[in-house]
């Protein structure tokens, strides 16, 4: 799932938290959990028609101010 050219660096402490949560939640792997979380978050922007719409959604979600 995470093979190939796309690489993401995750803080080791955060990765340990992710691994624990994914195991408790019943995911097959921490990669599957990460994929699910990212898919869910990206879905918030599927109906955005412009960069301004994306910016407003990010503000509404508290990601930027």
Low pLDDT (below 70) residues in the chain = 1-4
> Would you say 30 and 22 are in contact if contact means Cβ atoms under 8 Å apart?
yes
Query: pLDDT value at position 16?
Result: 97
Domain that holds residue 29: 12-60
What does the DSSP 8-state code read for residue 5? S
Residue 22: count of CB within 10 angstroms of its CB: 19
Q: Is residue 53 domain-resident?
A: yes
Its pTM stands at 0.73
**Per-state percent for the chain, helix, strand, coil, to nearest 5:** 60, 0, 40
Q: Is residue 45 part of a domain?
A: yes
């Amino acid at each position: 799932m995470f093979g190939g050219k796309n690489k993401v660096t995750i803080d080791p402490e955060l990765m340990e938290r992710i691994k624990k949560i994914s195991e408790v939640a019943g995911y097959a792997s921490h990669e599957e959990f990460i994929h699910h979380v990212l898919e869910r978050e990206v879905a918030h922007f599927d109906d955005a028609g412009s960069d301004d719409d994306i910016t407003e959604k990010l503000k509404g979600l508290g990601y930027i101010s």
